[in-house]
């Protein structure tokens, strides 16, 4: 049976600068979500990429004495390098400077134009170059500083622009959000969008004049297509197969509509209001879900170059490795809420969970199996389960279903907590059953039952944790005598009890996670 295809995206990251930890955070989450669905056997299309047009890019390139394309190419290489370091397993990397993308944008623009939803008018208002967005007067303080980029003063613009008739879709969007309450998640983000919509939707500009870096309007080349109108379509362009002609029909034929857009809450309005209205105008289906994650702080403070407290993701992953960083950000920060990174807390958490709890359980279990069971999976009788191990077996047997629900909801914290519950109970079982004493007393049957239970439970735990900590899980599986790597993932039956078979060889235990020492 072929399972439902799953298509998801990160934001298309703006390439005005190198990727930062705020770029890595949603991409790690999207990667974990995609890896989970691959384990479940779904065909998956995981799209990430870059948004490369607009005035901000043009100004940054000029400042660095580069052409805009040279600047974009250099920055895109940084994204590729960082995603590799973080073990991000994307399927498509889309760039809005790609030639095929222009063809998709032009065709989409023509559809919207033919719907009567594009018109020329005079644009007057305050413009934030950093946001690439006109701000409404009600959003700005008297100083006209951007509420997001607080060190940027918005520029007054008075120029002819083409507009999209967003106001025309007020009723349709109201009805859509009423019928699809799960479209915007979490609930707090949905409330923000509905509150904004209640103020009344206004048409928005989709072109700029006196700007070269972007695609020209097909019907009027003196105007350049607004970066957001162009960038949102990057998701669609990504769905083209390499040899496809760049048409909407080809892009939409297999993976569309998207099941999930993971985005930062600061760009929620574009994805939850503008994007659905544009799709309605073009006669296309809307995505299933838009999830707005929170923002990150460091040591309780908002990060910024002026404060000198930014987190360099390259340095972080080089010092600590990908798995502990992936684990900390997805387990310790409730996805959808703002979260904080503190290095001491990070080290304490990953040491406690990955070294002391999980790593120690695997090492002790394998060590005892090697010592008391000839380095093979011990013989055991599933029909004669004692009361001591029964709770562990029940907990482990149901864990797959419970963790799956958490992953589907992007509740990575809950997934980790449920897995840790099993690990903690297994460590407790070792203390309660003292297999080394039972072995000395000649109670081999009891030793075998306990050790099989421990080995199988830790196997399930690392299998279910693999979307978040893939390398750690691969290493653990290998030590348990099973294959699991980037090219081969055991199917979802491995979430069930009883995969380890008696008599199979086990490896000599080696630490799957080295404790991090404070320096």
4 inside domain: no
* Residue 306 confidence (pLDDT): 56
Query: HSE (CB half, 13 Å, CA atoms) of 380?
Result: 27
Q: How many residues does the chain have?
A: 519
Asked if 180 contacts 146 with a C-beta cutoff of 8 angstroms, the reply is no
- In a domain, residue 270? The reply is no
CA 477/CA 499 separation, integer angstroms? 12
Domain that holds residue 369: 342-495
Given this model, what pLDDT does residue 211 score? 85
- Closest C-alpha to 316, from 307, 329, 305, 306: 329
Does residue 293 belong to any structural domain of this protein? Answer: no
What does the angle CA 433 – CA 437 – CA 438 come to, to the nearest 5 degrees?
70
Q: What's the predicted TM-score (pTM) here?
A: 0.94
The answer to whether residue 151 sits within a structural domain is no
The runs of H, that is alpha helices, within 180-222 are 187-198
The domain tally of the chain equals 1
Q: Which domain CATH number covers 483?
A: 1.10.730.10
Provide the pLDDT for residue 147.
Answer: 84
- 3-state class (DSSP) for residue 335: strand
Neighbours of 196 (CB within 10 A): 16
Q: CB neighbours of 489 closer than 8 A, spacing ≥ 6? A: 38, 39, 466
Q: Is residue 480 part of a domain?
A: yes
Distances, alpha carbon 81 to alpha carbons 18, 57, 86, 312, 377, in Å:
11, 20, 9, 14, 40
CB atoms within 10 A of CB 98: 17
Token pair belonging to 158: 């008075």
Q: Please, how many CA atoms are within 13 Å of residue 349, restricted to the half-sphere of its CB?
A: 21
Q: Residue 285 domain-assigned?
A: no
Q: CA distances (Å), 22 to each of 9, 128, 311, 362, 428, in order?
A: 15, 20, 9, 33, 38
Residue 101 to residue 106: CA distance in whole angstroms = 9
Burial per residue of 135-162, b for 16 or more beta-carbon CB atoms within 10 angstroms, e otherwise: beeeebeeeebbeeeeeeebeeeeeebb
Q: Collapse the DSSP code of 294 into the 3-class scheme (helix H, G, I; strand E, B; otherwise coil) and give the result.
A: coil
Which strands, in side-by-side order, build the sheet including 301-302?
A: 301-302, 296-298, 339-341
What is residue 307's predicted lDDT score, i.e. its pLDDT? 60
**pLDDT < 50 stretches in the chain:** none
Computed on alpha carbons and rounded to an integer, the radius of gyration of the chain in Å comes to 26
| 50 and 96 Cβ atoms separated by less than 8 Å | yes
For residue 427, is it within any domain?
yes
């Amino acid at each position: 049976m072929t399972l439902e295809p799953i298509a998801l995206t990160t934001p298309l990251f703006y390439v005005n600068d190198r990727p930062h930890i705020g770029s890595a955070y949603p991409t790690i989450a999207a990667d974990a979500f995609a890896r989970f669905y691959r384990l479940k056997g779904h065909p998956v299309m995981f799209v990430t990429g870059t948004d490369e047009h607009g005035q901000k890019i043009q100004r940054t390139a000029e400042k660095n004495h580069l052409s805009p394309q040279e600047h974009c190419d250099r920055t895109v290489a940084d994204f590729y390098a960082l995603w590799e370091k973080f073990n991000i397993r994307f399927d498509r990397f889309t760039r809005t400077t790609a030639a095929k993308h222009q063809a998709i944008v032009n065709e989409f623009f023509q559809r919207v134009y033919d719907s009567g939803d594009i018109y020329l008018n005079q644009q007057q208002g305050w413009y934030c170059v950093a946001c690439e967005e006109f701000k409404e007067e009600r959003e700005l303080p008297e100083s006209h500083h951007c509420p997001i980029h607080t060190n940027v003063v918005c520029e007054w613009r008075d120029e002819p622009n083409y507009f999209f008739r967003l106001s025309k879709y007020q009723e349709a969007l109201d009805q859509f959000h009423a019928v699809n309450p799960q479209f915007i998640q979490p609930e707090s983000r949905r409330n923000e969008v509905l509150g904004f919509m209640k103020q009344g939707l206004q048409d928005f500009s989709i072109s700029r004049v006196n700007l070269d870096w972007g695609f020209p309007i097909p019907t009027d080349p003196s105007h350049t297509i607004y970066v957001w109108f162009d960038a949102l379509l990057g998701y669609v362009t990504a769905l083209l197969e390499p040899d496809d002609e760049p048409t909407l029909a080809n892009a939409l034929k297999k993976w569309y509509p998207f099941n999930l857009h993971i985005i930062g809450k600061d760009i929620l309005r574009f994805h939850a209001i503008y994007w659905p209205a544009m799709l309605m105008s073009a006669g296309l289906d809307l995505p299933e879900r838009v999830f707005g994650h929170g923002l990150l702080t460091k040591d309780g403070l908002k990060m910024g170059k002026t404060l000198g407290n930014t987190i360099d993701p390259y340095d972080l992953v080089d010092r600590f490795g990908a798995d502990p960083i992936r684990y900390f950000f997805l387990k310790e920060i409730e996805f959808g809420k703002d979260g904080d990174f503190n290095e001491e807390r990070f080290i304490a958490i990953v040491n406690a969970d990955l070294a002391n709890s999980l790593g120690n359980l695997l090492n002790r279990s394998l060590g005892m199996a090697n010592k008391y069971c000839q380095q093979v999976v011990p013989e055991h009788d599933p029909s004669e389960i004692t009361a001591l191990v029964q709770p562990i077996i029940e907990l482990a047997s149901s864990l797959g279903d419970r963790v799956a629900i958490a992953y589907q909801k992007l509740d990575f914290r809950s997934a980790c907590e449920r897995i840790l519950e099993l690990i903690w109970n297994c460590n407790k079982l070792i203390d309660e059953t003292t297999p080394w004493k039972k072995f000395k007393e000649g109670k081999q049957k009891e030793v075998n039952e306990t050790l099989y239970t421990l080995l199988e439970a830790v196997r399930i735990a690392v299998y279910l944790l693999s979307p978040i900590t893939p390398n750690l899980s691969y290493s653990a599986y290998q030590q348990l005598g099973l294959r699991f790597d980037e090219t081969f993932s055991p199917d979802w039956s491995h979430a069930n009890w009883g995969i380890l078979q008696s008599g199979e060889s086990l490896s000599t235990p080696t630490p799957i996670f080295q404790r991090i020492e404070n320096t």
